Amino acid sequence: MQRKVVLPGEQIEERKGRKLGSNVYPENDNVFSKVLGITKVNENEISVIPLAGVYLPRIGDGVIGKILEVEISGWSVDINSPYIAFLHLAEAVDEFVDTSRTDLSRYFNIGDVIFCKISKVTTNKVVQVSMVDRNAKKLYKGNMIKITPSKVPRIIGKDGSMINLIKNKTGCEIIVGQNGVVWLKDGNKTKAIEAILAIEKKSHIIGLTEKIEKMLGE
């Protein structure tokens, strides 16, 4: 699958009978982008994912990802981005592993949720993640919600003040990924989710902390 950044009005490819997805338009037999975004081109469809509100990986970010595939030397990971990340075996497991004899799904299997760090982003947007971090771990059970990635700092608050308020008032274990994925477990998850979504929606309001504290106290 081809992925590159395109400007509004920029030609992507010839259509060649393929289906037109979102944010594109045809002209003669060529396909153009309607928005600034990242192309999604395969043998069946041409579309563009808008960059506004999309998570673009940065080295050092802590993200919540889901294992998509178990491969020969590691795992493909969905990090809520136009780009799929790769978790290499050496960045995930301390012990020596003979890949010819070991099924890597014993460590991470399809559907597993992990908190990991972005360790590499190339100019071609090849993204790698790592479990070599004291906070990195597999996340068991729990629920996940997605928010606009740019709102993550507001959800966390200064020195963690906002997210700690939600944790203390609801009794939830909560982990917030820089990629806009929030994982919650135990406690009053419904109340916690309501508060998080309210912060996302009203992040521009002055005195938001007091409003959220009042909401959680009701």
pLDDT digits (tens, 9 = 90+) for 96-126: 888 778 889 999 999 999 999 999 999 888 9
Query: Could you read off the pLDDT of 27-68 as tens digits, one per residue?
Result: 999 999 998 888 989 999 999 888 777 898 999 999 999 999
What structural domains and CATH numbers belong to the chain? 5-50 (2.40.50.100), 62-139 (2.40.50.140), 143-217 (3.30.1370.10)
- Both structure tokens of 3: 């992925």
Q: How far apart are CA 61 and CA 36, in angstroms?
A: 24
Q: Mean of the pLDDT values across residues 79-90?
A: 94
